[in-house]
Amino acid sequence: MSRSSHQAATPLLSIHDLHMRFEKRRSLSDMLAGRPRQVVSALNGVDLDVMPAETLGIVGESGCGKSTLARCIAGLNRPTSGDIRFEGESVIDLKGAKRRGYNKRVQMMFQDPYTSLNPRMTVRDTLREAITVHHMREGAGVDRRVDELLDLVRLPDGAADKYPHEFSGGQRQRIGIARALSLEPTCLVADELVSALDVSVQAQVVNLLLELQDNLGLMVLFVAHDLRLVRHVSHRVAVIYLGAIVEIAPSEALFSKPMHPYSQALLAAAPSLDPTARRRAPALSGELPSPLDIPPGCPFHVRCPHATALCRQEKPTLRPVGPGMTACHFAETIAGA
């Protein structure tokens, strides 16, 4: 079952009209023919508010912009246009001490922590480095904090003096979480955090994350393609299609009655979510259009069984529908069908 939606007065994170474009490298034949550089539209006007201590699940097909959004929020990519505000302050152009302060408060965790762990450093050395470089503790307090962190993520006694290759994938992910927590963040960005792990290990790591979030009051952005996990961890869920949010709603509402035809198709394509449920919505058909060439109007119209001439011409805005918001001209009609 999903978690109840979190209520708060002021968003911790606000994203407004966020766009991210990448220029593709030109091939030799392109240059000889004088063809212009191709531009990938990875994010296309994302608007989003996330509350303190809320977990927001972010879902969509591969290539839809989930990871690009996560990287923009964590400050690893600079968006082409739009704004990201954290605790009321724009973070796009932060520099120096303010940028370092933001980077401490917003920590990103990746699918494979092994690539970001120095194989020549013990876990203790890795955590000590993070704590001392950012002046989180001094003197004997550094090692005490290391022990606290390893206890927080449930790593066994003696783990501090081992090297990354001596741990399983699930344990390395716990080390990654401990390193993120060493900077005492208010927001964790988890990009496909457990997708490389066995299902039983996934559950352990996700349950640990939920416990830490509740105990520490963290905001978590949980990017994943596994809808069961997203339902389990999230207060709300945002569905992204071709770089834009097409639906956002409380988790239970979205999973029990999705309002956008893309959300309906995603759920229909995941029969293991609830084997007893019979869904009338068709499973997803056709290929995701290229972000080099976003369709006009509603970008989903080329795959949508409900598309009309209006959908082909006019892009729908994200608007209140039911308990959430949906970018679909006919959401009320489709959801009621």
Distance, in Å, from the CA atom of 333 to the CA atom of 337, rounded to the nearest integer, reads 6
The number of CA neighbours under 13 Å toward the Cβ of 153 is: 25
pLDDT at 282: 56
Residue 211 lies in a domain: yes
Distance, in Å, from the CA atom of 41 to the CA atom of 20, rounded to the nearest integer, reads 6
Q: Which domain holds residue 279?
A: 13-26+39-336
Distance, in Å, from the CA atom of 293 to the CA atom of 313, rounded to the nearest integer, reads 15
pLDDT digits (tens, 9 = 90+) for 43-95: 999 999 999 999 999 999 988 999 999 999 999 999 999 999 999 999 999 99
Residue 3 lies in a domain: no
pLDDT at 274: 55
pLDDT at 145: 94
pLDDT at 337: 58
Residue 8 lies in a domain: no
**SS3 (DSSP) at 250:** strand
Distance, in Å, from the CA atom of 246 to the CA atom of 97, rounded to the nearest integer, reads 36
Residue 210 lies in a domain: yes
Residue 4 lies in a domain: no
Number of domains in the chain: 1
**pLDDT lower than 70: segments of the chain:** 1-2, 4-8, 113-114, 271-284, 336-337
Residue 294 lies in a domain: yes
**SS3 (DSSP) at 50:** strand
Question: For position 162, which CATH number holds?
Answer: 3.40.50.300
CB 124 within 8 A of CB 113: no
- CA distances to 126, 142, 220, 305 from 193, in Å: 19, 27, 12, 33
Strands 244-250 and 324-326: antiparallel
Distance, in Å, from the CA atom of 298 to the CA atom of 309, rounded to the nearest integer, reads 10
Q: Which helix (H) or strand (E) is 144 found in, with range?
A: helix 140-152
Residue 7 lies in a domain: no
**SS3 (DSSP) at 292:** coil
Please name which of 42, 24, 51, 38 lies closest in space to residue 79, comparing C-alpha atoms.
Answer: 42
pLDDT at 212: 92
pLDDT at 28: 74
Residue 270 lies in a domain: yes
pLDDT digits (tens, 9 = 90+) for 233-271: 999 999 999 999 999 999 999 999 999 999 999 998 875
CB 126 within 8 A of CB 179: yes
Please name which of 249, 271, 272, 273 lies closest in space to residue 260, comparing C-alpha atoms.
Answer: 249
Backbone angles phi, psi at 329, to 5 degrees: -60, -30
pLDDT at 1: 56
Q: What percent of the chain has pLDDT over 90?
A: 64
